[in-house]
Every structure is written in structure tokens, then in C-alpha cells.
Amino acid sequence: MKPGKKLLLFFLPGIALYLALFVYPTLTGIYYSFTDWDGLSPSYRYVGLDNYAGLTEHIVFRKAVGNNLKFMLAVVIAQTAVSLVLALQLARGGKGAAALRALYFVPTILSSVSVGFIWTFLYDPSLGAINGLLNAAGLSHWTQNWLGNVRFAIFAVAAAQAWAHIGQMVILFVAGLQAIPSELVEAAKLDGGNRWQVFARVTWPLLAPAAALVVSYTTIQSFKAFDLVFTMTNGGPAYSTEILSTFIYSVAFANYTFGLASAASVFFLALVSLITFLQFRVLRADRVSY
């Protein structure tokens, strides 16, 4: 057998799994988005674009899209900024750097449900540590029902999401920083550049590929935060934390409208793909080769 055929046989199991577990379900979901299938009946009708038109008129769907975009922006900004600062600190080395890396990574090994229960307890208006600390600091006027406030609930959940995944992003940034040649940094310092100038002119442009990966991965995570939102708020109060994944779940399994849920899933896939594509275009535009 020729080497090329042997190589093809080596890839066949992976290709078969990819087709069976990703391509086929995706195409099937797109097909059902044009039907009125209820998820149980053996028969269904083709309804064309009615499901997509119904989504544009669905108040909860529009609210879910807006909430998801706010949630994504909050998580991406907080998670990227904090993880970058921590990575810059760790990249300097010194005593305890390895221990701090492990400490930052600990929340990542927790399940989203566990994170949800931990932060629900922290946000508890009566027994939670957050209100307790505010009271102890003399800031009792800042205490509130964090998950019961329609204005702040989505950002409270976003804080839990960012905390849970900052450790992963720190590791990616540290890897990116370690790949930057030290000679370039030293040359910039010898030319009289201060810490900010070295970061802006040397470190950040060379860190752009890692930043693009961090931002795109964080974006995808924020759209997949179903289990965290479901555990902490179940979309409430008054749909203020309803996101696309929880909307799809409630539409599909509570109301048995799988055709509408499939249409929402197709929109979900298209939106995430568009956002991550634009992020890569913007962040990789500053990429510098060396």
C-alpha cells in the first residue's frame, strides 16, 4: 500500500467522527429550521422562512440576543484585561510564580455548575460574602440583591464566568509572552523606551496572535455559558439574564418547538462565527513577523 493511502486510512476514523458528530447534526439542524417539527412527531411540514421570521418578532429572543452581547462584552473585556495583567506579572518570574500559576488555574478545573453554586452563595443578599464585605467596609449602601436586580444580574453572572476562566487565558498569554525574543525587548529598553512604550511598540504587536486566540475563545465561552446561567438565575429575573443558549433550551424542551429552536441555533452559529471572524481580522492585523 502506498504511503499516501496509509496516511488517509490513519485520518479516516477522525474524519468519520467529525462527519457523524458535527457535520451531520449541523446540516440536520439547518434542515429542521425550515420545518415545524415538534421533536416527537414522525411527520412535520416544511414552513420555509417562517421560523426565522418568527424569531425577529419573538420578544424573548430579541432580549436574549441583547443580553448575550452584553454578557460577551463584559466577559471578554474583564477576562482579557485581568488575564493579561496577571500574565505580565507571571512572565517576570521570581519566587512563587509557579505557585501563582497553579492558583490562578484552580477555578478552571471546577465544573460550571460548581462555579454557579459558589457564586450564587457569594451573591446571596443575606448570607453572601460580597454584601458582608461591603457592610464590613462601611459601604452598606452598595449592598443589594445582585442576582435579583434586572440591571446588574447579567453582569453579576459575567463576573462569575470571567473568574472561572481567567486561569486558562493567563496560560495562553504567558505562552505568547515567552515566545517573544528577549533581544527585541532589551533593544527597545536600550533605545530609551519606558515600560509602557516597550509594551505598546514591542510586546503587544508580537502578542497579537495570542490575544486573538484569547478573545475568540473567550467569546465562544460566553455564548456557551448555558450551565452557568441556568444554575445561577435560569434566565431571570424577568429574562434579564436570558441568553441564546438558554432561550434555545426553553423553546425546544419546554414548548416542543424544535423547528423554531433549530432556527435560533442556526442564528447562534452564524453570529458566533461572524464575531470571531471579525475579531481575528482586527487583532491579527497588527501581527508582526520576526
> Could you tell me the CATH number of the domain that includes residue 167?
1.10.3720.10
Cβ neighbours for 43, distance < 8 A, ≥ 6 positions apart: none
At 58, is the secondary structure helix, strand, or coil?
A: coil
Spatial CA neighbour of 185 closest among 211, 207, 215, 209: 207
Assigned domain for 129 exists: no
| pLDDT at position 289 | 43
Assigned domain for 135 exists: no
Assigned domain for 26 exists: no
Q: pLDDT tens track of the chain, all 290 residues?
A: 566 677 777 888 889 999 999 999 999 999 999 999 988 888 899 999 999 999 999 999 999 999 999 999 999 999 999 999 999 988 877 777 778 888 888 898 999 999 999 999 999 999 999 999 999 999 999 999 999 999 999 999 999 999 999 999 999 999 999 888 888 888 888 888 888 888 888 888 889 888 888 999 999 999 999 999 999 999 999 999 999 999 999 887 778 899 999 999 999 999 999 998 888 888 764 454 44
How far is it, in rounded angstroms, from Cα 174 to Cα 179?
9
Assigned domain for 231 exists: yes
Q: Give start and end residues of each alpha helix (H) in 191-257.
A: 195-198, 204-223, 226-232, 244-249
Domain that holds residue 198: 33-111+155-286
At 118, is the secondary structure helix, strand, or coil?
A: helix
| pLDDT at position 4 | 63
| pLDDT at position 209 | 86
H or E element that contains 268:
helix 258-283
Assigned domain for 72 exists: yes
Assigned domain for 2 exists: no
Assigned domain for 137 exists: no
Radius of gyration of the chain (CA): 23
| pLDDT at position 123 | 96
Tally the domains of the chain: 1
Assigned domain for 139 exists: no
Cβ 206 vs Cβ 290: under 8 Å: yes
Cβ neighbours for 225, distance < 8 A, ≥ 6 positions apart: 71, 112, 157, 161, 243, 245
Cβ neighbours for 185, distance < 8 A, ≥ 6 positions apart: 198, 202, 203
